[in-house]
């Protein structure tokens, strides 16, 4: 490490030094970002404007969509702008803001997914108790606790990361990722954040085990259902959820807990792209787009447009 320096900006990882590939990266990220934003905004609109979807499950889905929008919006636009303008820099304060909001939304997302697994457990395994346990007040308090926990989670990690002194301003990632920032720190203060990451990993592993156990109980109940259609519906929802959630957790843990390489690594980049893009993109499909109630709500949103805009007639006919 070099001697301690006063850092005013960081230099993020370039996907390529070739201009054509930088433009390609911009359009690729733009397409993925627009797909994520569109899918999640549709979910938010459907739940917000359709009274029939004002139930605990869809209330959780709307909050999940908001969190997914927040997590990608915290990091992707800056990466796209850097590729478009052929720059690498991000200000120190911009890096702090990026870390704070990304950890805030991702942390809240993780805890909300745990809550959603509990909601499905009550709905399938204890349906007679569902309205009592998951009443409006309880759901509001649960979601509020998720957001508050995400905020505290973010304050803890952001404070622990930037309490350290940095000896370099080169971040080997396309956004301000905590492990890469810790790698360029040159004071013992970074050990605080390392400890916080270890504690967080234990908490997240507990949530992961809780979700797995919950779905084992759900599957055991589903298998006893006399209706084949009911079993297929439950499995088609639960299995993709577990796959995407497991991908998010495993790649995130691997990226954050393994010792970062001293040089830019394709593996680090690939893992980061997976856990930042895949869950926000897949969640609308898994939880909502395959859901009949959501499709009906979306059709109600677009039907008025069909009556006034002829250009939307083909789309509305499809919906």
pLDDT (tens digit, 9 = 90+) per residue, 43-52? 898 888 888 8
In a domain, 75, yes or no: yes
In a domain, 4, yes or no: no
Which structural domain range is residue 146 located in?
9-318
Residue 289: what pLDDT? 60
Residue 318 CB neighbours (<10 A): 8
Question: Structure pTM?
Answer: 0.86
Nearest in space to 103 (alpha carbons), one of 44, 166, 149, 37: 149
Average pLDDT in the chain: 82
Q: In this structure, what DSSP letter does residue 170 have?
A: B
Residue pointed to by tokens 């790649």: 251
Is the pLDDT at 319 greater than 50, yes or no?
no
In a domain, 1, yes or no: no
What are the phi and psi torsion angles at 170 (to 5°)? -95, 115
Is the pLDDT at 301 greater than 80, yes or no?
no
Residue 92: what pLDDT? 94
Can you tell me the mean pLDDT for 63-79? 94
In a domain, 127, yes or no: yes
Is the pLDDT at 270 greater than 70, yes or no?
yes
Grade residue 313 by pLDDT with cuts at 50, 70 and 90: very low
In a domain, 178, yes or no: yes
What are the phi and psi torsion angles at 268 (to 5°)? -60, -45
In a domain, 39, yes or no: yes
Grade residue 304 by pLDDT with cuts at 50, 70 and 90: low
The percent of residues in the chain predicted with pLDDT above 70, rounded, is: 85
In a domain, 3, yes or no: no
Is the pLDDT at 299 greater than 90, yes or no?
no
Residue of higher predicted confidence among 65 and 225: 65
Is the pLDDT at 259 greater than 80, yes or no?
no
- What CATH number does residue 166 fall under? 1.20.1070.10
Grade residue 95 by pLDDT with cuts at 50, 70 and 90: very high
Question: How does pLDDT run across 135-183, given as a tens digit for each residue?
Answer: 999 999 999 999 999 999 999 999 988 988 888 899 988 899 888 888 8
In a domain, 2, yes or no: no
User: Among 85-94, 102-111, 217-226, whose mean pLDDT is lowest?
Assistant: 217-226
Q: What total number of domains does the chain contain?
A: 1
Residue 166 to residues 115, 197, 268, Cα–Cα distance (Å): 37, 19, 21
CA dihedral (61, 66, 67, 71) in degrees, to 10, reads 140
């Amino acid at each position: 490490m070099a001697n301690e320096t006063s850092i005013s900006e960081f230099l993020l990882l370039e996907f390529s030094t070739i201009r054509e590939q930088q433009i390609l990266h911009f359009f690729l990220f733009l397409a993925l970002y627009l797909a994520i934003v569109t899918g999640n905004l549709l979910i938010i609109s459907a739940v917000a404007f359709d009274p029939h979807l004002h139930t605990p499950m869809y209330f959780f889905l709307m909050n999940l969509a908001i969190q997914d929008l927040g997590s990608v919006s915290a990091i992707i636009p800056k990466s796209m702008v850097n590729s478009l303008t052929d720059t690498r820099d991000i200000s120190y304060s911009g890096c702090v803001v990026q870390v704070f909001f990304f950890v805030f939304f991702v942390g809240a997302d993780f805890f909300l997914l745990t809550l959603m697994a509990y909601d499905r457990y009550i709905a399938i395994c204890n349906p007679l108790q569902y309205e009592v346990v998951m009443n409006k007040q309880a759901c509001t308090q649960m979601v509020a606790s998720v957001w508050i926990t995400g905020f505290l989670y973010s304050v803890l990690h952001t404070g622990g990361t930037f309490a350290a002194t940095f000896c370099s301003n080169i971040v080997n990632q396309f956004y301000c990722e905590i492990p890469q920032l810790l790698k360029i720190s040159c004071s013992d203060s970074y050990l605080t954040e390392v400890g916080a990451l270890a504690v967080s990993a234990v908490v997240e592993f507990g949530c992961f085990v809780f979700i797995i156990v919950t779905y084992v109980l759900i599957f055991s109940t589903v298998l006893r259902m006399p209706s084949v259609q009911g079993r297929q519906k439950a499995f088609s929802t639960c299995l993709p959820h577990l796959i995407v959630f497991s991908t998010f957790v495993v790649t995130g843990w691997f990226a954050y807990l393994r010792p970062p390489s001293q040089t830019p690594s394709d593996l680090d980049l690939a893992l980061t792209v997976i856990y930042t893009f895949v869950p926000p993109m897949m969640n609308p499909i898994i939880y909502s787009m395959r859901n009949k109630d959501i499709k009906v709500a979306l059709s109600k949103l677009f039907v008025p447009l069909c009556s006034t805009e002829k250009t939307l007639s083909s789309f509305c006919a499809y919906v």
